[in-house]
Amino acid sequence: MPQPVDQRTLAYVIVGGAIGVLGRAAIVGPVGDDVVPWVTLAINAAGSLLLGIVVGWLDDRHPRTRAFLGTGVLGGFTTYSAFAVQTALWVSTPWLAIGLAGASLTAGIAGAIAGLFVGRRIGRRIAGLPGEIEPPEDAR
């Protein structure tokens, strides 16, 4: 049976999502249509890096802060749907579409990995633990 949603956490996600969407709109709004796919790539890469930092730093601590920053702000800031549509619109130039898709996935995954590494280091320093990072197979 599904767990009931905590209303306060849901409110944090909603407010965070609005902030993230406004941030993305402020960046994408002023640029020309020909540049939007590349700006979206940059936004998604930066958002993946920042999400990795948030998840690595907070881990299972501060679930409302993680919901606000991760699911809310960064979930609203990044956009898979715009990436998918922009890639599909370039179907007439398949190599460009494949390049955009490949670059977006590579940058997102690389950003997330780097962010997790940085976030875990931050979390350990704040907690006063040694600077070593546990291998992924030992992570919770």
- Binding residues are 75, 78
Q: Which single residue is written with the structure tokens 């796919």?
A: 37
Angle between helices 7-28 and 36-58 (to 10 degrees): 150
| Nearest CA among 13, 18, 78 for reference residue 48 | 78
Binding residues for Na(+): 75, 78
Q: Report which of 120, 114, 12 is spatially closest to residue 73, judged by C-alpha positions.
A: 12
